[in-house]
Structure 1
Amino acid sequence: MAGFDHIIGHSDVVEHLKNAMKMDKVSHAYIFNGEKGCGKNTLAREFAKALQCQGEGERPCGQCQSCRQADGHNQPDIIEVSHDKPNTIGVDDIREQVVGDVQVRPYSSPYKVYIIPEAEKMNQQAQNALLKTIEEPPEYVVILLLTTNAASFLPTILSRCVMLNMKPASDELVRQFLMEHVQIPDYEADICVAFAQGNIGKAERLASSEYFSEIKGAAIHLLTHVKDMDIGEISQSVKAVTEFKLDIRDYLDLLAVWFRDVLYFKATSDANGIIFKENVRAITGQTRHCSYEGLEQILEGIRKAKARLTANVNFDLTMELLFLLIKENQ
């Protein structure tokens, strides 16, 4: 499938980028803003490939030398910025790979495209170094900042870039993708779709996990027995889940799907509308012990736990507080 056709969702962003190329109004800097797994990396790389495409008609053609090089990650005028420190993009990274390189004209393409993944990790010095290039770039330079948190950028950077916010894909598109690319039963696809909340990468990550059944089983066992467990047993159960190499925030999203099911069933008694259909008996039992207020508190507690973990708050303390809240509301 050529060009942007394999991009799932983001039709408004794709249309914007296509129009910019068609009207020869490509900006010198873009911010692709969206949560991990939403498709911003794929979209940015496809845009970079289209900018350098040598073919006629719809770009990228996928057939020319430049497109083939881009697909092989060896197009000399598409530069992906890397960094050695896992949590920081430092000023030296930006100076060496961008600032010190932009004055060299493209080797064989109309543009030099710099892709900066995880751009929210740029420290203030790195952002200031990049700002000078964004303010006065050579005409052939295009910088693509990929981030999960555009608010981390300096206001001066935000004001000089085109902001492209990634919106969630529809549940129908997520389901269609899973059925075409990952062979899983319908009921597991339902869980992945609800869990993903429009994020293709999240859905694929869970659906492709060889530990899917174990992860789901461990989560359900914990949720149905938490009222009888002490905090030490709960901590051990949660730590065991992390051994499956699933992001703990993904695990929390799985818990949120469960409690939304409990809340939905408590309000409607409609088993057809829940995601964990094969666990309707356990969900029915929980509706008797949980109040509406308690379920809202649990869902808010899960949201806060995700935010705390993102902010690098102590893992054990965060999970202990969450499961104490769940116990109290059972």
Structure 2
Amino acid sequence: MSGFKDVVGHNDIIQYIQNAVVKDKVSHAYILNGEKGSGKRLLAKLFAMSLQCSDRETDGDACGRCQSCKQAVNDNQPDIIRITHEKPNTISVDDIRQQIVNDVDIKPYSSPYKIYIIPQADMMSVQAQNALLKTIEEPPEYAVIFLLTENAEVLLPTITSRCVMLKLRNIKDTLVKKYLMEQMEIPDYKAEICVAFAQGNMGRAIMLATSDHFNEIKEEAIQLLKYINEMELTEIVNAIKKIQEYKLDVSDYFDIIAIWYRDVLIYKATRNVDRVVFSDQLKFIKEQARKSSYEGIELILESLETAKARLKANVNFDLVMELLLLTIKEN
């Protein structure tokens, strides 16, 4: 497993963690807040490894060689405890009581700290947060709690005010692309597409680069966009049925359409092919740029946002998609 020096991006957070470890100014509670795939789990794991390492580097990074580090890499370090929950969308008060409140007074087994990592901490019920609050207010000196959240705003103010907030930002596209090409040996064109979709999220970029399912969705969407102007209504209805198969991934489908028309808009405005993501479809991008007006492209992009909102509001899937595809066809 990599150390801090091998993490892409998040330099400010890493610098903060290393300073805290080296200067022995570790807080009892941290919130690592960022979207799914942003690196919260990795940073929490590396932070925990550094705190428990018996042969730490001078910069605060874990050595990766000692017994504690080896155990942590394999997720069986006895004093690094990952909180689990049975209910899929809720961390209950019983989960927090059983795994933290009733456990925290037991001293570490073999390490300087006893570390609790709570993934999806924004799923804690109000009762669970209140149960955790007493531990955060009056923790044993050896206890450290990491709350990993996508939406820290839903936590009680009494919780957030007692935690150090570490906000994970988007990583620069150039760094994401470099990682995909150099570390994962992803071809330039494929890396470019993954970067465009990931929008600074390294975890998402890696997932897209290794997902055959995503490539299948992408090819389906591109085929539709290339020929939709010539399609009859019955063909559009059939296309919607095919999209229905990807219903769980419809956000990816929408992102593909958005990037396609962003390419069309960029080419229409600048004639610059270097900024086109779907560079292997340049012939069709140019043709669409010739046919579509600026107003038409803007209308399509607005219709995409409307379609997303309608699906979130549980409007009929077929109806939403039919309205969207007809807007695309007409513009």
Normalised to the residue count of structure 1, the TM-score between the two structures is 0.89
Write out per-residue CA displacement over residues 130-158 of structure 1, whole angstroms, 9 at most, x where no aligned residue: 12211221111111111111112112211
Q: 1:96 to 1:247 in 2, by over 3 A?
A: farther
Q: Which moved further from structure 2: 95-104 or 233-242? A: 233-242
SS in 2 for 1:272: helix
Name the SS of the counterpart of 2:274 in structure 1. Answer: helix
- 1:278 Cα deviation from its structure 2 partner: 1.1
Shift of 1:327: 2.7
Return 5+ residue gaps in structure 1 as ranges. Answer: none
Q: Deviations over 1:17-46 (max 9, x none)?
A: 111112211111111111111111111111
Counterpart CA distance in 2 for 1:308 and 1:29 is 39
Residue equivalent to 1:260:
262
1:284 aligns with 2:289: no
The alpha-carbon distance between structure 1 residues 236 and 183, as it changes in their structure 2 partners (threshold 3 A), is farther
Contact 1:30 1:164 in 2 (8 A): yes
2-11 or 180-189: bigger deviation: 180-189
The aligned residue for residue 99 of structure 1 is 101
Alpha-carbon distance change, 49 to 300 in structure 1, aligned in 2, over 3 angstroms:
farther
Number of the residue aligned with 2:251: 249
Structure 1 contact 302–322 (Cα < 8 Å) conserved: no
AA in 2 matched with 1:324: L
2:103, 2:306 → 1: CA distance?
42
- Supply the distance in 1 between the matched residues of 2:310 and 2:175 (Cα, whole angstroms): 31
Q: Equivalent residue of 2:117, what SS?
A: strand
Please give the alpha-carbon distance, in whole angstroms, between the structure 2 residues aligned to 1:130 and 1:27.
Answer: 16
SS at match of 1:145: strand
Paired residue for 1:321? 320
1:27 maps to 2:27: yes
Aligned residue pairs, count: 324
CA distance in 1 between counterparts of 2:180 and 2:240 reads: 32
* Cα distance in 1, alignment partners of residues 177 and 280 from structure 2: 19
Q: 1:235 to 1:50 in 2, by over 3 A?
A: same
Question: What amino acid does structure 2 have at the position aligned with 1:279?
Answer: Q
AA paired with 1:241? Y
Taking structure 1 as reference, are residues 318 and 139 closer, same or farther at Cα in structure 2, changes over 3 Å only?
farther
CA contact (8 A) 1:77 1:113 kept: yes
**Change in CA separation of 1:294 and 1:213 when aligned onto 2, cut-off 3 Å:** same
1:177 paired residue number: 179
Matches of 1:301 and 1:133, distance apart in 2: 48
- Judge conservation of contact 1:222–1:237 (CA < 8 Å) in 2: no
Kindly provide the amino acid, as one letter, of the partner of residue 10 in structure 1.
Answer: H
Q: CA deviation at 1:171?
A: 1.3
Over aligned residue pairs, what C-alpha RMSD do you find? Answer: 2.3
Please report how far the alpha carbon of residue 297 of structure 1 lies from its aligned counterpart in structure 2 after TM superposition: 4.2
The answer to whether residue 245 in structure 2 is matched with residue 240 in structure 1 is yes
Q: Which residue number corresponds to residue 208 of structure 1? A: 210
SS of residue matched to 1:79: strand
Q: Give the 5 Å matches for 1:1-330.
A: 3-58=3-58, 59-226=61-228, 228=231, 229=233, 232-241=237-246, 247-303=249-305, 313-314=313-314, 317=316, 320-321=319-320, 324-329=323-328, 330=331
Give the aligned residue type for 1:14: I
Asked if structure 2 preserves the Cα contact closer than 8 Å seen for 1:261 and 1:283, the reply is yes
Change (3 A) 1:154 1:218: same
Identical positions, percent: 53
Give the deviation of 1:323 after TM superposition.
Answer: 5.5
Deviations 1:69-126 (A, max 9, x none): 1011110110000111111111111111111111111111111111111112112221
Give the direction of change, closer, same or farther, for the CA distance of 1:108–1:209 in structure 2 (3 Å limit): same
Change (3 A) 1:327 1:48: same
Shift of 1:193: 1.2
Q: How far is 1:210 from its partner?
A: 2.6
Report the 3-state secondary structure (helix = DSSP H, G, I; strand = E; otherwise coil) of the residue aligned with 1:115: strand
Consecutive unaligned residues in structure 2, runs of 5 or more: none
CA distance in structure 2 between the partners assigned to 1:307 and 1:103 by the alignment: 47
**One-letter amino acid of the structure 1 residue matched with residue 105 of structure 2:** Q
Greater radius of gyration (CA): 2
Query: Is the contact made by 1:94 and 1:130 (CA closer than 8 Å) also made in structure 2?
Result: yes
Equivalent position SS for 1:82: coil
**AA of the residue aligned to 2:158:** T
